[in-house]
Chains A and B, each alone.
Chain A
Amino acid sequence: MTVEEIIGLLRSCGADAWEITQTTEETWEFYFIRRRLDQNRVRSVEHIRVKVYRKSPDGQYLGSAQGEIYPTSSPEEAEKNIRTLLRSASYVKNPVYTLRKPEESASDPENGPIPSPSSVAEDFIRAVNQVPESASEDINSWELFVTSGQRRFLNSEGIDKTENTTSSALEIVLNARDASHEIELYRMYQSGTCDAETLVRDITETLAIGKNKLTARPTPALRKADVLFSNAAVLPVYEYFTDRMNAAFIVQGISDWKKDDPIAQARYDTITVSAVKTLPNSSANHAFDPEGAPTRDLVLIERNIPKNFYGNRQFSEYLSLSDSFQAENFRFEGGSETEESIRKGDYLEVLEFSDFQVSPLNGDIAGEIRLALWHCGGEVIPVSGGSVSGTMTDFVRTMRMSRALRHSDNYVIPAFTRLQGVTVTGAEAE
């Protein structure tokens, strides 16, 4: 089935309104064990996702249902799918909202040629091959995914936009060892194409911190301590703020933040964050969002005060947000601290978690410490085990951030973040 054939079916089946997203992608994947190729893969797929809308007879409700029409579907099968979706949509009763119109949509993107996954993949492989290894620190295994393709969005109002897309992901596991044992560290890098210099530098630095884990002691039972984040492990803290500004979270009651109502009284630094149209080499750089809305720069929170929520058409209309869109790139402003000032006193610098989570609902944080540095009385002691916990609703009052910034794919965040009074469960016997 082609998109044009599907549009014909949607019209003949009597859809009140519809949206189609067609993606055509080729991914080159490579899996390595140390320096040797474990497996190579090609992924060449086309997806056509259809969302149909049905208004209630009284016009108060707009129902929708979505599904996929496969390229291998027969016309009869596709028609049956669309009729089933339309029937389902008629049972869904959401307050009425409108679809985006062409005059509200993005201008046509300036698409150059679709980049070849081959050349980007080759750049990554050459970059990883540059990483210096030694007898005590090396690469255990890594997986590379480079995707390029096209995304086309159409709706029944007349929008028809196409853009070229490129994204990459590199998952890498690193080892450090001494005579008695071996440890591992994990990193996942996401980006547009390959920034070889940054990648090699970060992997090399990670290999260096692996030595710390070899000598790490069990984390002491600190009960309460300041926790310093000095790498991308802190991202869930910043995602907490952007998630809670999403219109969907507001409408669904997951976030109770209100426009112009401060999220907290801060003793030190405050949060200022903007959605931004593009960030250098971000995998989330798009000319238009999944519903055809133009992406742009928009201040979300200014000095702890929510200014603009963002989100999809349905939830944005429910909040009477004009000109909103589904943001994916975010830029936080730095705080007031230098690295030197933020490192004063005793603190636990967590370098690696098993999995660090921050709940957008209540701000609860949780993470097992795989590797941290306990800075205590001028000493720096590598520690491992135990966990951090607490809630962002408390931490945001005393959060401190560096002026210097760090860029990680679709987020720019302060390079150093310090949370006060975090509960630290130790790993050593009490």
Chain B
Amino acid sequence: MKAPFSPYLDRIVPGLKQLLILLGREYPYVSVLSTDSAGFAVRISQRSKSVSEKTMTTERGSVVRVWKDGRVSEVSFNRFDPDRPEETAQALLSSLRAQRDMLCAVSCPVYTTPPIPDEACQVRFEADTELLPEKTDMEKLIGSLTEISDSGMKKGSHMIDLSVSAQSTHISKLFLTANRDMRQSYVYSEGSVSAICSENGRMEVGHEGLSGRRGPEIFSGLTDCLDKALSTADELLRGERVVPGEYDIITTPEVTGLIAHEAFGHGVEMDMFVKNRALGSEYIGRRIASPLVTMHEGALCAESVTAYAFDDEGTLAGDVTEIEHGILRSGICDTLSALRLGCAPTGNGKRENYEHKAYTRMTNTLFDSGDSTLEEMIASVRYGYLLSGMQSGMEDPKHWGIQCIIDRGYEIRDGKLTGKIVTPVIMTGYVPDLLGSVTMVSRDREVFGNGGCGKGHKEWVKVADGGPCLKARARLG
């Protein structure tokens, strides 16, 4: 079935179009993004259970963007009567005038932005899904999550709790200007199993997740996640600390994705180029990685949690080749940054929700596959670690530093896994050094979309990342 577009948004379209006309009397460019996204989040553990209709992306509201004399302004609001658009127009104009007056009082100069183009575009996109979150049988879902939690407590050792979560969101977004009418709807879902265990005073969490641009039908896969989460928890309890130093590493696809995202993805968000906050701007056309490294970014790259048809500024989704055989080809760009840099936007203008500003943000950030097998890669390592599971990462585009906190490392000596495990593993380094050290790339590839991505320490959006296994050299601590 198709994920149907929001009837509420369809209903307010005439009122919004009238709002655009009213605001257009004062501003040469006016757009409105309106959203109506519903979903649920269920979390079941032995110790507490919760159900909410709020996920990271559930929302209903609108944001108007206006441009005049080089200045860009926005108003976010969630009270709108489609039969009285003039009331909203008056309120918005009054707010913007009040801000303009205050800015005049403090003599604030403006960073001038060229006029925002408004070429005609019509989009109607409804993605396929098997089930819709709003039609989910909650009794059945809660029952199956409870079974997984109960079963995990029986199967696992040293268990404190076993938490199972399931979230699904039906996104509907509408983008209108004088010349554009774009409507999209799709469903994405994510779930996870977390096994909390303790032994000899040490506590650890084994975690396994799944996600995709699919409906709640994906939660049938959580049973498979259980065994992996329990196994990981056991391994973490046996883990030792890594001796700090530089090692040969093999990254599993989840860690490869973390590198793609933190080590490189943030570094080519071109709103950072506008502010001169990213080294990447100086390296376009230059070698920054091994010839084995090719990386893509774009909502069209994979059917993940962020596989939309157009972004939050009404730009169609793209597929950008960021690195081609080690050469930095392109960054990704939102509309306003593109105007300032004189390039084309890439469909990466995203907002946390309608209440937030749009920034250049990642969608799917993926390394391309190579031609090695994981077995060949392990056999080639004299002393190092196979790194698996991600905890978190942090970008540093200005200095191209990386911080990746990885769940665990499996020791490799003389081409064989020894059974020794280290945890947690902090991988740091200089991005071109790390990517330049890639010597093997595996044939398979996986995409991960659990969790969210912040810009600095805020502005959380859904992203996905991944790739194959990589063999490289890195500093671990």
A residues apposed to B, CB below 8 Å: 28-33, 35-47, 49, 63-68, 70-72, 77, 81, 84-85, 87-89, 91-94, 118, 121-122, 125-126, 129, 140-141, 171, 173, 182-184, 186, 188, 221, 223, 248, 251-254, 256, 314-315, 354-355, 357, 361-362, 364, 366-368, 370, 384-389, 393, 423-427, 429-430
Contact = CB atoms under 8 A, between A and B. Distances in A.
Contacts of B143: 91
B45 A368 contact: no
B75 A221 contact: no
B275 A173 contact: yes
Contacts of B92: 42
Contacts of B274: 33
B319 interface: no
A144 B422 CA distance: 42
Contact of B198 (A92, A256, A388, A429): A256
Nearest to B96: A42
Nearest to A368: B403
Contacts of A28: 99
Contacts of B336: 39
A95 B17 CA distance: 51
Contacts of A357: 392, 405
A256 B203 contact: yes
B1 interface: no
Q: Top 5 closest A-B pairs, CB basis? A: A425-B477, A67-B53, A368-B403, A355-B394, A425-B244
A430 B245 contact: yes
Given A92-B50, A256-B203, A37 B428 contact: no
Nearest to A89: B51
B102 A33 contact: no
Nearest to B163: A252
Contacts of A88: 40, 51, 138, 142
Interface in B268-287: 274-277
A427 B477 CA distance: 10
Interface in B444-461: 456-458
Interface in B391-409: 392-396, 398-399, 401-403, 405
A297 to B, nearest CB: 28
16 contacts: A40-B96, A42-B92, A64-B51, A66-B51, A70-B60, A77-B8, A81-B53, A141-B277, A182-B276, A256-B198, A354-B394, A366-B426, A370-B401, A386-B477, A425-B245, A427-B428
A199 to B, nearest CB: 15
Interface in B142-174: 142-143, 160-161
A385 B96 contact: no
Contacts of B102: 118, 121-122
Contacts of A430: 245-246
Contacts of B245: 221, 425, 430
Interface stretch (B76-84, B248-256, B378-386): B76-84
B153 to A, nearest CB: 12
A191 B58 CA distance: 28
B424 interface: yes
Given A45-B78, A389-B426, 15 more contacts: A41-B76, A42-B76, A49-B54, A129-B106, A171-B458, A182-B398, A183-B399, A184-B277, A251-B48, A252-B161, A368-B428, A370-B396, A385-B401, A389-B424, A425-B244
A37 B357 contact: no
A368 B426 contact: yes
Given A40-B73, A366-B405, A386-B477, A29 B357 contact: yes
B72 to A, nearest CB: 5
Contact of A253 (B160, B392, B426): B160
B477 A92 contact: no
Nearest to B159: A253
Contacts of A40: 71, 73-74, 96, 99-100, 103
B77 A354 contact: no
A367 B393 CA distance: 10
Contact of B53 (A35, A66, A94, A141): A66
A37 B108 contact: yes
Contacts of A68: 53-54, 58
B424 A364 contact: yes
A253 B61 contact: no
A64 B52 CA distance: 9
A148 to B, nearest CB: 13
Given A72-B78, A186-B456, A355-B394, A427 B51 contact: no
A221 B476 CA distance: 11
Nearest to B52: A66
Interface of B: 8, 40, 45, 47-54, 58, 60-61, 71-80, 91-92, 95-96, 98-100, 102-103, 105-106, 108-111, 138-139, 142-143, 160-161, 196, 198, 201-205, 241, 244-246, 274-277, 336, 355, 357, 392-396, 398-399, 401-403, 405, 424, 426, 428-430, 456-458, 475-477
Contacts of A94: 48-49
A357 to B, nearest CB: 7
Given A40-B99, A171-B458, A425-B245, A64 B79 contact: no
A251 B47 contact: yes
Nearest to B423: A364
Contacts of B246: 429-430
A87 B103 CA distance: 50
A370 B48 CA distance: 39
A354 B111 contact: no
A397 B53 CA distance: 44
A65 B141 CA distance: 14
* Most chain A C-beta atoms within 10 Å of own C-beta, residue among B105, B357, B403: B403
A389 B475 CA distance: 13
A171 B51 contact: no
A184 B50 CA distance: 42
Contacts of A183: 398-399
B77 A44 contact: yes
A46 B241 CA distance: 49
A34 to B, nearest CB: 8
Nearest to A426: B244
Contact of A368 (B109, B355, B401): B401
B258 to A, nearest CB: 13
A44 B47 contact: no
Nearest to A126: B106
* Most chain A C-beta atoms within 10 Å of own C-beta, residue among B108, B202, B203: B203
A254 B47 CA distance: 11
Contacts of B401: 354, 368, 370, 385
A261 to B, nearest CB: 13
A348 to B, nearest CB: 13
Nearest to A28: B99
A251 B196 CA distance: 13
A396 B357 CA distance: 41
Given A70-B60, A387-B403, A125 B428 contact: no
Given A91-B138, A354-B401, A367-B403, A425 B475 contact: yes
* Most chain A C-beta atoms within 10 Å of own C-beta, residue among B45, B72, B204, B244: B244
* Most chain A C-beta atoms within 10 Å of own C-beta, residue among B8, B71, B79, B106: B106
A36 B111 contact: yes
B458 A65 contact: no
Contacts of A42: 74-76, 92, 95-96, 99
A355 B428 CA distance: 12
A320 B386 CA distance: 46
Nearest to B142: A91
Given A37-B111, A361-B205, A430-B246, A425 B426 contact: yes
Contact of A71 (B78, B160, B355, B458): B78
A30 B49 CA distance: 40
B76 A85 contact: no
B275 A141 contact: yes
Contacts of A254: 196, 203
* Most chain A C-beta atoms within 10 Å of own C-beta, residue among B96, B357, B428: B428
